[in-house]
Structures are given as C-alpha cells and as structure tokens.
Amino acid sequence: MTTVDFAGKIALVTGAAGGIGAAVARTLAARGATVAAVDRDREALRSAGRRHQADGLPVRAFPADVSSSAEVAAAVTAIERDLGPIDLLVNASGVLRTGEVISYAEQDWHDTFAANVNGVFLVSRAVVAAMVRRGSGAVVTIASNAADTPRTGMAAYAASKAAVAMFTKSLGLEVARHGIRCNVVAPGSTGTPMLSQLWSAGQGPRTSIDGTPSEYRLGIPLGKIATPEDVAEATAFLLSDRAGHITLQTLTVDGGATLGV
C-alpha cells in the first residue's frame, strides 16, 4: 500500500534534475506532496519534470542557481505564489571537484563552496524564514559520509559537506522553538554520475564495494552500492511525522562503509 505521508504538503527540492535530488522529488510526490523541483540545469530539469508528469506525479520545475541570492529569492517567491507555502525543504544540490590539496585549483574550491555551502545557506534562509512565521516545517540537507571521514582527493567536497551538516544542525537549534525540524542525511557511495566520475579507466562498482586500501578507503560491508531511492527513503522518513521528535541528527546511508562512526 502506498503511503500518503505528505498529502497537501508543498516540498522544495534542490538539485532535482538528477541523481539523489530527482529520486527525492519522485518519492515525495508519490506520497502526496506537490514538489517544486529546483536546479540550475534547465534542460535536465525539464526532462526530469516530463518524466515525473508522465507518471502522474505533481512535480513542477523552477530553474534557479542556488548559489545566487537573487535567483533563490525569485524562485522561492514564485513557488509560494504558484504552489503555496513551503512545508518541506530538501537541500540536495551539490558538485564534486576532485584533486589533492597542493594542486587544487582555487576556482574549483570556490565553485564547490558556492554550490555545496552557499546554496544551502541561501535556500534555507529564504525558506525557513517563512516556516518560522507559520510555526512549522521540516528540512533535510543531503551531506555525505565524507563529512566525518577523511578522503584522499576530496578535501574540498568533504569540507563543504561538513560545513552544511553543522550549518543544518545549528539552524535546527535556532528554529526548534518554532516547531521546525532540521536533519541531515549522509550518503556513502550511491549509484549516480557523481560516483562514476571517481572511477578510473577499467574501474567500476567493485572499486567502491571492495574499497581501496592505498587510499585508506574501506569497502561497503553490505556489499552493494546505494541507489538514489535508498537515500530518498531515508530523507522521506526524516521529513515525515513519523520522525516528529527527531531533529539535529545525521542519518548515515552508506551500507556500513564508515563502520557506524
């Protein structure tokens, strides 16, 4: 039986053109929410929107670059005007630029933090301000298990995800008295283009599952890579009333790769 946890709710999902963001948008819409899908990739967002709508899911596209304060403000205004007050927010947008620190390009550092950190701040500030006035809401930020576990070649990404995890929890502490819950989902290796870009020629899923000792990277005890839907299910739980007394927490979805630490 399909649950309708979010009947009548309006959800804003960033990074919704593909990967985890698209899976979250689909999961929430399938459970009754009307979803505002936000992404800066307009064509990919339109394509994802057509797939959702073909399946009868109430997902509307609102193209915007989350690193732009003006575009975020315009998108939030349009969403609340066209769909209604935003009840749920999922910060799922992000980029991954790999490289060792001593040779890392300054522009890659700035781009990583613009998308992964500034975007979470700008969207959360705009959306949660209205939630405070209404006295309810729920926020989930998609971080990473790399936020707590050092990774070679991923210092910028790991640092950005650590930043948004603590930002989200600090925000949650500030707005808890208004009945707003803020939590973090921390995926590990998930079957998206972001993961496959880490594999060198001749590598594939076994590289992530078995681990890479030379890079101090453990494998995945469950022996499989997560699907975007695995992460979407965890996100939906934290947004739902079933998690009504859970806030300031991180739910790690990595098949045991970080050994529960």
Residues noted as catalytic: 157
Number of H helices, E strands in the chain: 9, 7
Cβ-based burial of 43 (10 A; exposed 0-12, middle 13-18, buried ≥19): exposed
Determine contact, residues 115/93, Cβ cutoff 8 Å. yes
Extract the tokens encoding 126.
Answer: 């705009």
Distance CA 121, CA 8 (A): 26
Extract the tokens encoding 55.
Answer: 């399946």
Extract the tokens encoding 102.
Answer: 């001593």
